[in-house]
Amino acid sequence: MKLIPLPAFQDNYLWVLHDGQRALVVDPGDAQPVLAYLQGEGLQLDTILVTHHHPDHIGGVDALRDATGAKVYGPARETIPEPSTRLCEGDAITVLGLRFDVFDVPGHTSGYIAYYCPEVGGRPLLFCGDTLFSGGCGRLFEGTPAQMLASLDKLAALPGSTLVCCTHEYTLSNLKFARAAEPDNLKLINYQRRCEELRERNLPTLPSTIEQERDINPFLRTRLAAVMQAAKHHDAATPPDDVAVFAAVRKWKNEFK
Ligand SMILES: [Zn+2]
């Protein structure tokens, strides 16, 4: 199996997984780069997985379905291009012979789902779109901080070796904020250096891993004393409870330059 991030728009990745003959694509906001890749590699598109309804995640679904006849899976509680098979937590699907478990992870949008494959090429794999980024998390457009914290807790509890395939190359700007939230985290400092080197060579910083994110991502670390103190330092009114600290860190990031 080969896992490829196809660049699209400014900073999106359209993840393709294929076995040399058949492929799946996640959140194709644009059909063109996917069709070009399929043609170049001689692949048949089997399946389209959709995490949520934002245009940069569904814009290419109809064109790809029309061109290839691919099956479309998406969230049960959101509006995406039909026909699709609607999924929610507890569902499992088999794509290219691989099992994918579906998780409800509301927060960025209210009906958001993520796709988790327990084993591909010897390790687990997560397609999480705009919920978990490397060094960050999605903005709360529809959900509450409590929902997003619970969603991120669910993803952070996956095996550490899980490959984290997110939809945007936001890593360097996320890490700039992470350094402000946790200036003394040595793993974070080292990771930032490695990611800067990758971007200088125009290479993706993704996929990340769950273990990496647990070590450096402030949104998975809001219960740690250092992050709680930083949140309180930024906004002295932050009460000492998990959701309030998470909400304060998310708000701080929104304002961070
Ligand atoms: Zn989105």
In tens, the pLDDT along 145-192 reads 999 999 999 999 999 999 999 999 999 999 999 999 999 999 999 999
Residue 42 CA to ligand 1 center (angstroms) comes to 30
Annotation says 54 is catalytic: yes
pLDDT at 41 over 90: yes
d(CA 26, CA 45): 11
Annotation says 18 is catalytic: no
Residue 75 CA to ligand 1 center (angstroms) comes to 13
Residue 52 CA to ligand 1 center (angstroms) comes to 7
Annotation says 53 is catalytic: no
How far the first Cα of the chain sits from its last, in Å, is 39
Confidence of residue 257 (pLDDT cuts 50, 70, 90): confident
pLDDT at 209 over 90: yes
Residue 236 CA to ligand 1 center (angstroms) comes to 30
pLDDT at residue number 240: 85
18, 27, 53, 108: the catalytic one is 108
β-bridge partners, 55 = none
Contacts of residue 254, Cβ cutoff 8 Å, sequence gap at least 6? 139
18, 27, 46, 52: the catalytic one is 52
Confidence of residue 10 (pLDDT cuts 50, 70, 90): very high
Using alpha carbons, list the distances in angstroms from residue 246 to 59, 177, 213, 229: 31, 14, 16, 12
Annotation says 108 is catalytic: yes
> What mean pLDDT is reported for the chain?
97
pTM: 0.96
d(CA 60, CA 35): 10
